[in-house]
A and B are shown apart, each in its own frame.
Chain A
Amino acid sequence: MAKVWVILEAQDQKIKKVSYEMIGLAKQLGDVEAVLLGSGVSSLAQEAGEYGVSKVFVADCAELKDYTTAKYTRVLADLIQKKKPEIVLVANTSQGRDFAPRVAQRIGAGQISDVMDYQEGQFIRPVYSGKAFFKVSPCACPAIVTVRPNVFPAAEKCGGSCLVEEVAASFSADDLKAIVKEVVKQVSSRPELTEANIIVSGGRGMKGPENFAILEEMADVLGAAVGASRAAVDSGWRHHSFQVGQTGKTVSPSLYIACGISGAIQHLAGMGSSKVIVAINKDPEANIFKVADYGIVGDLFEVVPMLTAEFKKLLS
């Protein structure tokens, strides 16, 4: 059986959900081992064992407290070259997509990016903004595969334990040239856009920044994140980190509620892979209805508060 590695991603001393999704995929591919990098993370390694990982390599040292491209690349490239896994799964997150191609290049590997499905030995990834898909397979070992969050079902807890092997990390002066000056966390009670299960999004139809309050209220009832179209971002109503679309975030929640968004092709590029799409728009001809699973033709200022009230009844 192929040796498949999952590069676990942790944040604030917690293994992120996407890591379990990668373990789920890895089990379809072969024998699963995992790698964990960070500072003070050793205690998390055993957790992976409960999900069917046989061994976890842990590089735990002060230098790995702050993520930088060069440090992660050093540790991972060295380890892959030594242990020779056949496939290495990396989360397609701000971190994963930063180091994966650099590791791939250093070890002379191919990379298959932003994978959303695996069928008959081939990885499926969206191209042309999700208007088409490539079926790709590696023709050399090892291969790096970056995995889109929120798409693969997470591995189930199956008990058991794993071997933990500590990995010594050593860095050259070059590896330590980049310095993280600051990490600014937005204090928000809402989930991050790319990790959210439900997203409520607003467009030009919101008419002004103050009106996003009604979407935030709905979002908080649903435990959802709040997104925006480019028109709303360009109008200065929302920060561009909340933009969904071709030049914004690509999201795959299980439910995407688009309010006052016309459904331009560039917007669909970012949310077309959502499992269920709901559109609220006063224009019955709006393009968003062509991709919506459910929709309401009406004034969002009337519909959204009613919907929030109905959700509240159901969920409280």
Chain B
Amino acid sequence: MKIAVLIKQTFDTEAKIVVKEGKVDPSGVNVIINPYDEFAIEEALRIKEKVGGEVVVFSAGSDKVTESLRKALAMGADRAVRVELDGVAVDEGVVAEALAKAVGEGNFDLVLTGWLAIDDRSAQVGVRVAEILNLSQINMVTQLELADGKLTGSREIEGGMEVVEVPLPALITAQRGLNEPRYPSMKGIMQAKKKELKVVNASDLNISAQPKVEVKDVFLPKAKEAGKIYKDDMADAVSALVKALREEAKVI
């Protein structure tokens, strides 16, 4: 099995957001592999451990994302590819085309991605890549099985679960519940330093897409006014709260 995994580097979930000159300021922020992409890496490694093959991780971004690619290699991926987007005007469609072109040369049986990047939150790139590469998809998968060249994935739907079967090659986007990602071992970290990390320039990929949406502004939510907090006498607190919910907030 040849498996490609797409990983995005994102801000740490604790990161404080600062807006500077109309953009989110990345300086001094800790970065992590997007949590959903860690599930994707883990699932790829588990499949490889079962049926053999190769796991290749891809990330589009500047030299900074090398750190995340190395971490994926330390977890057990075999090779990494970084797609340099410098100088390219991007939106989700452009990023997807760049990644699809980089992945497309590899004849992969399976592509794994996260369902959403927790920073830009568009939940588009995985699905767009599936469309470009003409792959069947199962989105937001919480359980995955591989047998006889077919994938069976469970995905959450409103009020239940849906089980979908698709033939390979296919693309799966990972949702929490799929697995528990491993930590890199010391040995893995040492080995990762020697593994191949290739850089592909977006300008060599013949990208045809142009940005179709434009971010006009970034703003922070208004600070919330202090709420009404009741304490001491619980019976009083409860009746005051219920009264406020009915008469003031009008939500019950």
Contact = CB atoms under 8 A, between A and B. Distances in A.
Contact of B131 (A106, A140, A303): A106
For chain A, what secondary structure do more than half of its interface residues adopt (helix, strand, loop), or is it mixed?
Answer: mixed
B136 A70 contact: yes
Contact of A69 (B139, B165, B211): B139
Chain B interface residue bracket vs A: 35 or more
A267 B8 CA distance: 22
A20 to B, nearest CB: 16
A110 interface: yes
Given A177-B136, A295-B230, A306 B238 contact: yes
Nearest to A120: B216
Interface in A244-290: 246-248, 254-255, 265-266, 269, 272, 275-279, 284, 289-290
A188 B159 contact: yes
A11 B159 CA distance: 11
A275 to B, nearest CB: 7
B249 A105 contact: no
Among B15, B91, B158, B167, which residue has the most Cβ atoms of chain A within 10 A?
Answer: B158
A294 interface: yes
Contacts of B237: 296, 298, 303
B156 interface: yes
B219 A292 contact: no
Contacts of A137: 213-214, 216
Interface in B148-170: 152, 155-167
A98 B127 contact: yes
Contacts of A296: 229-231, 234, 237-238, 241
For chain B, what secondary structure do more than half of its interface residues adopt (helix, strand, loop), or is it mixed?
Answer: mixed
B190 interface: no
B19 interface: yes
Contact of A138 (B131, B158, B212, B219): B212
Interface string B172-193: 0000110000000000000000
B112 interface: no
B201 interface: no
A211 interface: no
A109 B96 CA distance: 13
A220 B212 CA distance: 45
Contacts of A255: 245, 249, 251-252
A184 B238 contact: no
Contacts of A302: 234
13 contacts: A94-B139, A110-B93, A128-B121, A136-B214, A177-B136, A178-B164, A247-B35, A276-B251, A290-B224, A291-B224, A297-B229, A310-B239, A311-B242
Enumerate the 9 nearest inter-chain pairs by beta-carbon distance, A residue then B residue, closest first. Answer: A110-B212, A101-B127, A110-B213, A105-B131, A101-B124, A297-B231, A182-B163, A185-B160, A135-B217
